Structure 1
């Protein structure tokens, strides 16, 4: 049985929230570069250049790529042989979202009630999708 503490999960989720909003993956960057290389419209090339400049600055300065950082959506693959120590997995994930959105200066846009539109002030609760599998690993994707 593998043991993982809630603090490890919280710290990982906080880091992943910031990374997801400040750094694009290589495949997406390559796709934008490919689009730029094949774009024939001057306006289209200007827009793609602006996007690439923004992505570079966001990556270098650890700033959000976009001002609207959206809701945190996590995909959790949890091995049956993993034991979470010190609290619940849901609480650890939501605390990580709370910390990541605060430490990363990310826009908090989640509302507690869609009718009265009261902001939760910390971008929780996260949307969490679970997949329980054999084994002793925990994979978190934001």
Structure 2
């Protein structure tokens, strides 16, 4: 049995909150730079160049990449041979968020009640998804989610007979309706299967994959490439001003489902696809 003090978790989460909001991942920057070379719109090229420069300035000046520093979303994989000491793990993660958003001067965007709308003042509580795995390691993935893109996400319960064509049409329609609102070029997470909530969770987790990685199954790898091509044919372009760079990547994740259903969720992320990962 491996013992981990929750104080260590608090310190790690605090640093992750600041890092993710200030240092855009190299995978995203490389994807933006590659898009500059392929973008056929002069305005689109200029916007992509400014997005890269914005990320550079944020890193140089220790400032947030975007004013919306997001709702704190965590995916936590816990080895079944791990025991946490000194307190509650969920409370420790929230304390790390509380400290990180204060020390990093990050905007606090969470309201305590969805209708009464009183701000919590410290960006807690975080949304935390736990998964128990074999072994004695803990993997924490943090992905702050801004709501300009979150609001453009959607879920639909398709009929099994809709098949691949139905999935493609739904993804394409969702992105088309979103237009410029999620600050393209976007990253699109697609969850297929499970139940309604499982599909949504798959789509969210898909956004934490590095750009340039593909689904391990050849069929879904091909589907990812097909979807990316179709989305870029929409012509929405960088910041919605036209061009052939509407999306940087499409990531598809799947799960077994019921014989009577075909749940599909689309979770959209803006060009600042922020996520960091730490293994304890």
CA distance in 2, matches of 1:80, 1:29: 36
CA deviation profile, 1:3-28 (whole Å, cap 9, x unmatched):
11111000000111111111122111
Are 2:22 and 1:30 aligned? no
Cα RMSD (Å) of the superposition? 0.9
**Comparing both chains, which one has the higher relative contact order based on Cα–Cα distances under 8 Å and sequence gaps of 6 or more?**
1
Query: In the alignment, what sits opposite 1:46?
Result: 46
Shift of 1:40: 2.3
Q: How many aligned positions are there?
A: 142
* Higher deviation after alignment, 118-127 or 54-63: 54-63
What residue in structure 2 maps to residue 120 of structure 1?
120
Deviations 1:49-87 (A, max 9, x none): 111111001112221100001100001000111111100
Q: Structure 1 CA distance, aligned partners of 2:5 and 2:61?
A: 30
Aligned to 1:132: 132
Q: Matches of 1:132 and 1:61 in 2, distance apart?
A: 38
Unaligned segments of structure 1, at least 5 residues:
none
1:59 maps to what in 2?
59
TM-score (norm 1): 0.97
Matched residue, 1:20: 20
Q: Is the 8 A contact 2:5 2:86 kept in 1?
A: yes
1:77 counterpart residue number? 77
> Are 2:8 and 1:8 equivalent residues in the alignment?
yes
Return the alpha-carbon distance in structure 2 between the equivalents of residues 37 and 61 of structure 1.
27
TM-score, normalised to structure 2's length? 0.50
Which residue does 1:99 correspond to in 2?
Answer: 99
**Secondary structure in 2 aligned to 1:110?**
coil
Native 8 Å contact 2:74 2:140 kept in 1: yes
Structure 1 residues 34-57: Cα deviation after superposition (integer angstroms, max 9, x where no partner): 111112222111211111111001
- Whether 1:88 and 2:98 are equivalent positions in the alignment is no
- Contact kept? 2:102, 2:122, Cα under 8 Å: yes
Cα distance in 2, alignment partners of residues 37 and 58 from structure 1: 23
Give SS of 1:114's match: coil
Larger radius of gyration: 2
